[in-house]
A and B are shown apart, each in its own frame.
Chain A
């Protein structure tokens, strides 16, 4: 709450100066902070998709997602920022690290982290970036976000709108999360149990279960 108040005060101090005469490129304090944090976020994202060390990619993803949380705070969306920190930095990256370790990802540099079509991918990404940036800058050249006054994304405001106007999607989302939970458990159990109904060959399922059990023992011993 205090962080949001600080961000709100910062926004109030700079935005009313910007609201008087919003020049085309008259950077205020919030904009400069946004730009610097955005550069850090973008750099971390680029390192995430280009590094050859898989664990480092996950750790740079933490930097990128944390930078995005700071951007949410600068946009006065306090609740989204803390949800971002809790869910992405707290759980998603930990899940990804667990996945990397369970699939025996190499710890050091792995030379085959990038596929052979990376130049095609780079061409597509640069073309998409150019087109998107051109269109977006051309479309919102004369639009300013007014961050003055009460912040628009405090927990109170977000909760009120969420439970007044968005109750039904919220409930549907909880059902979806339950379905995802059950689905993840089913997907994980199918390869585990030898008598699972998804096993096609009953003669091979015994060896599969034995191999899985051996691998589990190895991972437990690690």
Chain B
């Protein structure tokens, strides 16, 4: 198999995930895009392992071992990431990352603060969360 096929597919998948990370607003959709980027890296690792195990007589199988490690770290990352997203949702009432601008530098005071945005969000049970953030 031509090596360019998996390499090009991995590059395109990575850029798809890059677009998703930059363009999505929901934090869980951003996490999905991060998973796509990690999978693109995995595809590269597996493809180059299959190439090097013949071309360079590689017996270490570092590509497959690193792909397994990446999968495990991605599982840990998705668990921690979802725990953070759920904690943010409980405190702010939103998982919209455009509204979480507490640490943003130099945002103008006309822009509503993230706490105010968290209170004013028209989500169901917003009143409870406004109490929780008060």
Contact indicator B26/A105 (Cβ below 8 Å): yes
Complex interface: chain B residues within 8 A of A173 (CB):
69, 72-73
Complex interface: chain B residues within 8 A of A218 (CB):
125
- Size of chain A's interface in residues, with CB distance under 8 A? 100
Contact indicator B83/A42 (Cβ below 8 Å): no
- Residues from 1 to 29 in B contacting A, C-beta threshold 8 Å: 1-9, 11-20, 22-26, 28-29
- Residue of B1, B32, B75, B125 touching A145 (CB-CB under 8 A): B1
Contact indicator A45/B16 (Cβ below 8 Å): yes
B132 to chain A, nearest CB (A): 4
Indicate whether A103 sits within 8 Å of B32 (C-beta atoms), given known contacts A75-B47, A137-B8, A218-B125.
Answer: no
A141 to chain B, nearest CB (A): 7
- In the bound assembly, the distance between CA atoms of A46 and B24 in angstroms comes to 13
A100 to chain B, nearest CB (A): 6
Name A69's closest neighbour in chain B (CB-CB). B39
Q: Does B78 contact A (CB under 8 A)?
A: yes
Name B32's closest neighbour in chain A (CB-CB). A61
Complex interface: chain B residues within 8 A of A4 (CB):
none
9 A-B pairs with least C-beta separation: A49-B20, A121-B22, A180-B76, A125-B19, A129-B15, A121-B23, A161-B61, A211-B128, A132-B11
Q: A83-B71, A165-B61 are in contact. List 15 more A-B contacts (CB 8 A).
A: A34-B1, A45-B17, A48-B20, A79-B68, A88-B39, A92-B35, A115-B24, A128-B14, A133-B8, A136-B4, A140-B3, A144-B2, A152-B50, A165-B65, A204-B132
